[in-house]
Structure 1
């Protein structure tokens, strides 16, 4: 009898395990629809290792603007319409503002980096501090340094136009470094900016799908010996690079304060009020680093695509230049007050954002409670992607969405075709949704507007010519990096000042800008 009982128990256990394993990877009936799953793995073999936004958009056309994927026992939900984005993210901010557990991110920053920090007290303290600096009214106070840096960007384009990529990155980084740390970087090479750029590229590569094993699905992979897990060494490299950047900058800021040389940098205020925000020195450093991350990529990627698209579409460029010439003239450079009188320039800005969103699937959110969305459930613990690429490529909303056409924003506020449902669209939708919306969007919007006006006012952008045969060098608009952020692969173009008079005015304004730069201490040395 005892042996029969043991045998029966064993058979029951085996049956239970088989039933559990048979359900692993399958889609629960309450989930939104999605591609067919296979036992154990779910959609793991289907999940793209590159160009994730393209596959998400393909699936959205097949399964709807809210679809799901199963990766083992984990659930991914993808939102692919503005209406559903409002329903999921904006209306349910309290339960849709966490971040998924990303093991490599935890190895790199331990959950202290605001973009990857879990929704909780630490994130709320960091967010509150960043919000105090980056409100719209607060950002208006930063316009002098943005204008000065934008003038240097034009001068850099005059001197070495072939290096426009690093000039743009230097501008974007130096603005946020001045505002946050009180440090101005006059050049890309040999500065904190160069080291930051290197660490960010390493970080982006580490976050690419397939760059590290699926530890979140198979936690046992955490225990792979380091000699068989080169991705762990890459995590160490990224962590060391990021720490060196923020620690070096924070040290300079503290030393300047101790020497009585304050310049009203934001972190000076945070250091003075660290008890108010409940932040120690490490969190203050990570706060500063997070603001650099957000500020640099948003602006620099936009301007890289802008230069590319103006080179590819001379008719659009020339039309915008005529509008600027009529409003601004040739005797001064543009100011932010001019923007409201430049509707086609604003249309170009909106169309660049639509055509090439810098974060095509956003940084993923995670749900902290079951949420009923229509007839479906987004379960607690689900990873939620905002498919911005799919939202801006919806043929029911945008006419010929694969075409770069600023005129669409001259016809309607959101660039949509007549009669399209614009529910959920916002002017700031490109910066995300819910409580995780980009805190630096006002600073970034000012930088983008200033530089678009300046560069159109000052320069012509065309195809570069092959020195051997004089033929135009092709620019591939679909060649861009792969990862969370989308940036164009290096390309050549011909950048020339529109007149000698404009070039001379830029030189004069750069001289005048030195009084602004003098308020900000130059970075002492490379990290």
Structure 2
């Protein structure tokens, strides 16, 4: 085809524009606000690396990129730059040793529209964050967390009984246990045996939040803010509908359990609970700002603790199913230390190092797959925490799962106790094995995981039966709680 001079001029102009845009994108990629960015995958114009990320398993994409670009690299999703860290050492160097620089939280475009501005975990550094943190510390510091052990023990016994009564619903029983413990501690609220309104409400709200408060989803909302302004009836207004539902759930989760606690206090309850202690200690309980601060902090405690406990225990159940040799070794340790005439309690913890290693490995599998620090990172190996036959000095409350520095979960001691007592009682009283078909054959399956702020396995088939050498009836006797 013959091109006249005008065509050539047009092509030259287009070529110059393309080169100019690519040059600007490259420079934008290399620097932001005068600071040079870390290496990372080359982004496409406008969309960045959005379409290169596995939407269902983004951690797999990040792990693959880490092998190419190192343990800290930058990606771009639409107009948002995201720094990905794949090293415990780097994370601790930044968030613990330099926490005065890295204690803030980035702007998340989904936080306010989805109703989660109340949550301490997502709050930006400031006066409100410090006030909420102070309230948390008063209730959940290490020495105070000991007070809640009887509640945790009692609820863990009920968890085992619930699993035995309906093994196929073990995932729901774990969710109920997690909610029952923390709602008792925060609101002096007893969860109903079935279909508790507040538990179901928290499940709906939490599911929406865990999905929306990720950097990837936030980047989409930030790039297309008009999506949250569309009327609900408008075709494709999914984000708006989800945001409205999430905000409604969040408001109910903040208000309803706190009002329950307020009525309990007005009726003269003598119980100790986070919300009740606040109402007793505050002179002017009608001060709107102080009241809202307490409501927000209590709701944060409930939701964060519930999610931490639930996801950890689900990961533990899957690990025991996939590694029967680990389960058997732990049960042998419990039998040797505890015997068969009673059930384990918190006093047994120092004498059960292999059970402790299982907890440490469960937390690691949820959060740290760095091969340099943990050889064979995808293999569940509690033995990795032993040196010379003795448990290393690792403490589960110092796990990456609980965060770093000033942002470390202030209620981690309480969450740690809840998870440990549930794990040791499940191991003591139950046997977890593969489900079997009609002919008695073991049924294999490929586990799937839900993705959000936290990751946990989806419900999976398994067989759960009582261990023959443990008297399950002791779980329902009053003596077992002493």
- Please tell me the TM-score bracket, short chain as reference: 0.7 to 0.9
Native 8 Å contact 1:153 1:167 kept in 2: yes
TM-score between the two structures when normalised by the length of structure 2: 0.86
Is residue 54 of structure 1 aligned with residue 57 of structure 2? no
Deviates more, 1:156-165 or 1:115-124: 156-165
One of 457, 462, 477 as aligned partner of 2:428? 457
Listed one character per residue, the Cα deviations across residues 277-313 of structure 1 (whole Å, up to 9, x for unaligned) are 9953333222111111111111111111212221222
Label 1:58 to 1:275 Cα distance change in 2 as closer, same or farther (>3 A).
farther
Listed one character per residue, the Cα deviations across residues 66-97 of structure 1 (whole Å, up to 9, x for unaligned) are 21123455432122112111221112212212
Is residue 318 of structure 1 aligned with residue 324 of structure 2? no
Cα RMSD of the aligned pairs, angstroms, is 3.1
Native 8 Å contact 1:112 1:122 kept in 2: no
Q: Distance in 2 between matches of 1:160 and 1:62?
A: 47
Native 8 Å contact 1:21 1:39 kept in 2: no
Is residue 241 of structure 1 aligned with residue 249 of structure 2? yes
Shift of 1:40: 4.4
Equivalent residue, structure 1, for 2:29: 26
Label 1:20 to 1:256 Cα distance change in 2 as closer, same or farther (>3 A).
farther
One of 499, 502, 506 as aligned partner of 2:471? 502
Aligned residues between the structures: 457
Is residue 293 of structure 1 aligned with residue 303 of structure 2? yes
Equivalent residue, structure 1, for 2:363: 353
Native 8 Å contact 1:24 1:39 kept in 2: no
Native 8 Å contact 1:166 1:188 kept in 2: no
Q: Distance in 2 between matches of 1:223 and 1:157?
A: 44
Equivalent residue, structure 1, for 2:345: 335
Native 8 Å contact 1:311 1:461 kept in 2: yes
Label 1:80 to 1:211 Cα distance change in 2 as closer, same or farther (>3 A).
closer
The structure with higher relative contact order (CA 8 Å, sep 6+) is 1
Q: Distance in 2 between matches of 1:452 and 1:512?
A: 17
Equivalent residue, structure 2, for 1:393: 369
Higher-helix-fraction structure: 2
Listed one character per residue, the Cα deviations across residues 328-362 of structure 1 (whole Å, up to 9, x for unaligned) are 0011111112111111111111111112x1xxxxx
Label 1:74 to 1:414 Cα distance change in 2 as closer, same or farther (>3 A).
farther
One of 187, 191, 206 as aligned partner of 1:181? 187
Q: Distance in 1 between matches of 2:240 and 2:181?
A: 33
Shift of 1:190: 3.2
Equivalent residue, structure 2, for 1:75: 81
One of 94, 98, 117 as aligned partner of 1:111? 117
Is residue 482 of structure 1 aligned with residue 451 of structure 2? yes
Q: Distance in 2 between matches of 1:307 and 1:47?
A: 28
Equivalent residue, structure 2, for 1:436: 407
Equivalent residue, structure 2, for 1:171: 177
Q: Distance in 1 between matches of 2:389 and 2:135?
A: 33
Deviates more, 1:500-509 or 1:148-157: 500-509
Deviates more, 1:89-98 or 1:290-299: 89-98
One of 95, 102, 107 as aligned partner of 1:96? 102
Label 1:235 to 1:414 Cα distance change in 2 as closer, same or farther (>3 A).
farther
Equivalent residue, structure 1, for 2:442: 472
Q: Distance in 2 between matches of 1:336 and 1:111?
A: 36
One of 244, 268, 277 as aligned partner of 1:269? 277
Equivalent residue, structure 1, for 2:222: 216
Q: Secondary structure at the match of 1:496?
A: strand
Equivalent residue, structure 1, for 2:71: 65
Native 8 Å contact 1:25 1:71 kept in 2: no
Equivalent residue, structure 1, for 2:259: 251
Q: Distance in 2 between matches of 1:20 and 1:110?
A: 39
